[in-house]
Structure 1
């Protein structure tokens, strides 16, 4: 059974259809990438999965259970975690305190369990040396790592990564990708929106290309990136 399924999901903003009859399944432990030009509906799709938006049509299923009408908090408690394109930590709290909030209120961990779990995540994401640093003082790479760490602290079975490699140098990107790859190897299912294609395709095993809210093509990274319609629409190359 798929861990996550979208069935005919559509969303309109007035006359603008930003998500148009999107369907796909995510297998347990799978790493799925989503690409598309700006305005293709990628972030809206994430908002529909997390419950920040409700679809006008279609269903969102988690382990075969309809969660279409559930709140973001309910979906988080069920195992749907997310990082945001623009990191949104509690700037006045330390790195560790940010994780503690996520673990207690998002992951539902008891007060006796949360501290050890948070320190383990900080170690895995390379932030343990910065645990006492105020989040607002972190450079971009570490803010991205903190965004990932907070999502992990909610104990997700599916984690949504929204352009987490954007704005990083090549070296920083390599380090972050290594962290994401190790998390995936532990069995966490991933859906990753990204414009840094070499980072994305080094992790995911399947790609979905979106255009104007519709699924243009689904396949392996090589198949999708070689398709003339994807090159023309996404890369600006004449087919």
Structure 2
């Protein structure tokens, strides 16, 4: 089954075309990595998928349903969860309270019904010992884990990760990747934007490359990274 499908999706801001006729599918249970130089349109693509911005052309389908014009919250409740590159939790709330906010709004559920699911997410993401800690006092790795946990608390069928490994030490990165790999092993479909390539390639089964808003490669990660065009455009290596 296809969880997400984009068909000829384009978006411009004035004369700047940031997403140019993008098409791809993500099957259920797959992890897709997205790479590209800064300004390639990666975050814009995520914003189009989540409904934070609307495309000028093309169609976006989630689980076979056309969500192209649906607002962001409707897409969350339809099964899209997202982490952000810069964690911005509710700093004065506890870690557990942050998850309750995400779960109750993301699932349109009552708080008392979400307590056990949120506790389960805390355990899956390694945050259970920090459940009662104030979010503003967490380390960077813990804030990254909280971003992941808040996205999972909404009960997504599709999990979008936006440079979640950025800024971490090698050891911290390995610890977070192990958590993401375990979540993917549970069957969660993932799309992951990342510049830390060794982290990304240890999880994803396919790799998509963007440059100036266009897809210039999609396929097996090893084959994509070995291609001449990707090495010239993304890695800055003249072949």
Match of 2:44 in 1: 44
Q: Report the counterpart of residue 79 of structure 1 in structure 2.
A: 79
1:65-92 deviations in whole A, cap 9, x for unaligned?
1001111100000000100000111111
Corresponding residue of 1:218: 218
Shift of 1:233: 0.7
Task: Tell me which residue corresponds to 2:57.
Answer: 57
Given the alignment of the two structures, is residue 233 of structure 1 paired with residue 233 of structure 2, yes or no?
Answer: yes
Q: CA RMSD in A?
A: 0.7
- Secondary structure at the residue paired with 1:53? coil
Matched, 1:131 2:131: yes
| Contact 2:100–2:111, Cα closer than 8 Å, also in 1 | no
Structure 1 equivalent of residue 117 of structure 2: 117
Long gaps (5+) in structure 1: none
1:139 deviation in Å? 1.1
Match of 1:168 in 2: 168
User: CA offset at residue 111 of structure 1?
Assistant: 3.0
Q: How big is each residue's C-alpha offset from its partner over 1:125-169, in whole Å with a ceiling of 9 and x where there is no partner?
A: 011111111111111100000000000000000000000000000
The question of whether the paired residues in 2 share the 8 Å contact of 1:108 and 1:154 is answered with no
Residue aligning to 1:2: 2
Cα pair 2:209 2:217 within 8 Å, conserved: yes
The answer to whether the Cα contact below 8 Å between 2:2 and 2:64 also exists between their aligned partners in 1 is yes
Question: Is 1:21–1:58's contact at 8 Å kept on the other side of the alignment?
Answer: yes
TM-score (norm 2): 0.99
Alpha-carbon distance in 1 for matches of 2:113, 2:169? 36
Q: Does 2:100 match 1:100?
A: yes
1:37-69 C-alpha deviation (Å, 9 max, x unpaired): 000000000000000000000010011110011
Residue by residue over 1:182-211, the C-alpha shift from the partner in whole angstroms, topping out at 9 and shown as x without a partner, is: 100111100000000000000000000000
Look up the SS of the partner of 2:86 in the other structure: coil
Q: Secondary structure at the match of 1:12?
A: strand
Give the equivalent residue in structure 2 for 1:140. Answer: 140
d(CA) in 1 for partners of 2:65, 2:13: 27
Distance 2:230 2:163 in 1: 19
Q: Distance in 1 between matches of 2:57 and 2:215?
A: 16
For 1:9, what is the secondary structure of its paired residue?
A: strand
**2:187 & 2:60 partners in 1: Cα distance?**
22
Give the SS at the match of 2:143.
helix
SS of the equivalent of 1:25 reads strand
Q: How many residues are paired up?
A: 239
Distance 2:111 2:105 in 1: 10
Three-state SS of the structure 1 residue aligned to 2:218 is strand
